[in-house]
Amino acid sequence: MVSKYLAIYNEIITKIESGEIESNTKLSSENELMKEYSVSRDTIRKSLNLLEQNGYIQKIKGKGSFVLDINKFDFPVSGLTSFKELSEKIGVKSSTIVKELELIKPDKFLMKQLNVSKDDEVWKVIRVREIGDKKIILDKDFFNKKFVPVLTKDICEDSIFEYIENELGLRIGFAKKEITVQQATEEDKKYLDLENYNMIVVVKNYIYLDDTSLFQYTESRHRPDKFKFVDFARRSY
């Protein structure tokens, strides 16, 4: 059961991405859209606000809503998108190699990052992402076993993200992302095709569930020349 405003939001996105609604043109006014979809103005406005937030349109008072053409490519790396979704969108052949998969007792660093006690058990997953035959990304994931009782190599090779949302039914609420650049470690050099690079782009991700519990800590370590982060931001008051 999907809400009306989400349905309309998705329908308009489809129209924009398929080119049925051209970019830089005006969208129908809120009044027209009300009639078109037989809903109240507030429902239309919810859909349009979502479109605006996510960079599809820009509303201008007194004039109308205009379709932006920024979203053509290079948008996906933002937000919470996973590696699998990403590589599928870009359409580059890529693969995931699981290097380590085990249950561990957290050390001090992990206890702090994952907000767990020394008696909790934690899944540790280390994966290498290969893009076009080069080992480019080293992913280190840590989950509290409380939330994820079972984890297999197959799941890790596919998408842990999908498993969590679809199979376990856990709903992800929000995430904090931190990007820095560091000296490459021995581990980086061991697992990745670093060529002559001695630095690594580190993306730390703290992922929280809907009920605000910290659920996962992830470190994604990228070869600097292959790293790109794109973000869309609106002025927030």
Q: Which residues bind DNA (CB under 7 A)?
A: 1, 3-6, 27, 29-32, 38-43, 45-46, 48, 59-65
Interaction between residue 177 and a copy of itself (CB under 8 A): yes
Q: Tell me if 100 sits within 8 A of 125, measured CB to CB.
A: yes
Interaction between residue 210 and a copy of itself (CB under 8 A): yes
Q: Tell me if 188 sits within 8 A of 138, measured CB to CB.
A: yes
Helix H or strand E encompassing 59:
strand 57-60
CA–CA gap between residue 79 and residue 230 (Å, rounded) = 9
Nearer to DNA, 77 or 172 (CB): 172
Q: Which of 54, 87, 115, 159 binds a copy of itself (CB under 8 A)?
A: 54
Using CB under 8 A, which of the segments 52-60, 85-93, 95-103, 129-137 binds a copy of itself? 52-60
Q: Give residue for tokens 């498993």.
A: 163
Interaction between residue 93 and a copy of itself (CB under 8 A): no
Nearer to DNA, 155 or 170 (CB): 170
Q: What is the DSSP string of 99-112?
A: EEEEEE---HHHHH
CA–CA gap between residue 185 and residue 199 (Å, rounded) = 9
Using CB under 8 A, which of the segments 28-36, 49-57, 105-113, 123-131 binds a copy of itself? 49-57
CA–CA gap between residue 74 and residue 87 (Å, rounded) = 12
Nearer to a copy of itself, 20 or 211 (CB): 211
Q: Which does 181 bind (CB under 5 to 8 A by kind): a copy of itself, DNA, none?
A: a copy of itself
